[in-house]
A and B are shown apart, each in its own frame.
Chain A
Amino acid sequence: MKTYYNPEDLKKFGKIGEFQKSMADKFFAYYGEVFQEGALTAREKSLIALAVAHAVQCPYCIDAYTVDSMEKGCDEEQMMEAVHVAAAIRGGASLVHSTQMMNKVKEISM
């Protein structure tokens, strides 16, 4: 079955430099540095990545950071809480715009 997303394509991510090498090299160097242990632990960064993966709805990233989070010792409860953080921010981002709607309603109402 043909689909837009093929799990096998995740393995090809490192080969995007085939079409534009210097930018890909810079991106992957940056990417690698971002996920190094720093002020945040590698485990904390993995959970952030998992949450963002859900926010941007990237199936490749969800697969990758589910495995990565488990490898870093996170359990299902922690991972689901991370996804709820993403959901809360996404939902909140819609809802906070309701203030604009409310403003407009009040502006044009008697």
Chain B
Amino acid sequence: MKSLKALNHPLSRVEQEIAVLDQPVEGKTFEGFLQEQALFPLKPTTIDILQINMGKMCNQVCKHCHVDAGPDRKEIMTRETMQHCLEVIRKHTIKTIDLTGGAPEMNPDFRWFIEEIRAITQTAAIIVRCNLTIIVANPKYYDLPEFFKKHRIEVVSSLPYFSAVKTDAQRGEGVFGKSIRALEMLNAVGYGVADSGLTLNLVYNPSGAFLPGSQQELEQQFKKKLADGYGIVFNALFTITNLPISRYLAYLMSSGNYENYMEKLVSAYNPVAAMNVMCRSTISVGWDGFLYDCDFNQMLELKVTAPDSQHIKDWNSEQLHQREIIVKQHCFGCTAGSGSSCGGATT
């Protein structure tokens, strides 16, 4: 399977995606919902999280990927851009550094970057969004669990279901089996094990055109099934709603589910979730150093509205704090039901 970009798919062009996402759903817009709550324009509350997308290169080609990542994507962050990120981490109080991709581990400077971050701060949380299969993809990655442990990385990994059929349908043939092997390796060094201090969180996102159910209940199911079936333990399950961007948008449209899915997101709008959206406390850094309100806006190439602080090398906290967050119809994905963020439900 290739990326939409490699296939020259119309939705690989952001102007096409935005043209779709600019259409109101039954006459309703996300902006309109925020206005009713006096939340528009949406403003940040703080900048606690720096989410850094280290590149679009990935060993998997998941059907729902909003990054359109894959082996054929060569866009990765340079060491120079990482140096700019380190400057920001050095000078500002960032509580969480959240490394994502693609598969961030495939960036040749990944380990160097983490070592440099830890040299600056021992207290900030460092999250790596690890797709699991990378750990068993090549012998050079086999020691990743030990590396993560040494630097007290929080590992967050997608596992859309506790069976091979559903997981492989979304993430590719054989992914479930490899993910279980990787989880065993993470467990073996202490990740997810009670009182180890090593956090392993899993991410559930629906394998289709439906919303995630109760995070608490799904977590209970996952814990029981993975423990009983495979002896796997983990800390928490994050439920994440699929946002209608890139490959997931292409799936929704080609399967005829787009309108129903959007109506479902709109009808499930939760005002409390709207107050807690993660873009209010996050800055997302693209592989090329540009700044965005979130990873989704990054993929839509909607740069932050801070005019003199659109790139990591030009970081200006004051402007970033005062910016207006860009919202479009995809934002309904973060406010549906119990809310959705990179840390799971928000209410």
Contact = CB atoms under 8 A, between A and B. Distances in A.
Contact of B211 (A43, A71, A76): A71
Interface stretch (B86-94, B128-136, B139-147, B213-221): B213-221
Contacts of A42: 213-214, 217
B213 A72 contact: yes
Q: Is the interface of B mostly helix, strand, loop or mixed?
A: loop
B343 interface: no
Contact of A43 (B161, B204, B206, B217): B217
Interface string A71-87: 11101100000000000
Nearest to B212: A71
Nearest to A43: B217
> Which of B208, B217, B263: most chain A Cβ within 10 A?
B217
A51 B322 CA distance: 53
A11 B26 CA distance: 13
B161 A75 contact: yes
A103 B217 CA distance: 49
Nearest to B221: A73
B210 interface: yes
A67 B217 contact: no
Contacts of B210: 67, 70-71
Contact of B213 (A11, A43, A75, A76): A43
Interface in A46-90: 67, 70-73, 75-76
Interface residues on A, range: 10 to 19
B317 interface: no
> Which of B165, B212, B213, B221: most chain A Cβ within 10 A?
B213
B163 A75 contact: yes
Contacts of A75: 161, 163, 165-166
A92 to B, nearest CB: 30
Interface residues on B, range: 10 to 19
A70 B217 contact: no
B211 A73 contact: no
A41 interface: yes
A103 to B, nearest CB: 47
A71 B161 contact: no
B163 A71 contact: no
Nearest to A76: B165
A76 B169 CA distance: 13
B217 A71 contact: no
B20 to A, nearest CB: 22
B267 to A, nearest CB: 9
Given A42-B217, A43-B217, A75-B166, A70 B161 contact: no
B206 A70 contact: yes
Contacts of B211: 71
Contacts of A67: 210
A71 B166 CA distance: 13
Contact of A71 (B165, B213, B221, B263): B213
A73 B213 contact: yes
A42 B221 CA distance: 13
A71 to B, nearest CB: 4
Contacts of B206: 70-71
Contacts of A11: 263
Given A43-B213, A67-B210, A73-B221, 13 more contacts: A11-B263, A37-B217, A70-B206, A71-B210, A71-B211, A71-B213, A72-B217, A73-B204, A73-B213, A73-B218, A75-B161, A75-B165, A76-B165
27 contacts: A11-B263, A41-B217, A42-B213, A42-B214, A42-B217, A43-B213, A43-B217, A43-B221, A70-B206, A70-B208, A70-B210, A71-B206, A71-B210, A71-B211, A71-B212, A71-B213, A72-B213, A72-B214, A72-B218, A73-B204, A73-B213, A73-B217, A73-B221, A75-B161, A75-B163, A75-B165, A75-B166
Q: Nearest 8 CB-CB pairs, A to B?
A: A72-B213, A71-B213, A73-B218, A70-B210, A71-B210, A73-B221, A67-B210, A71-B211
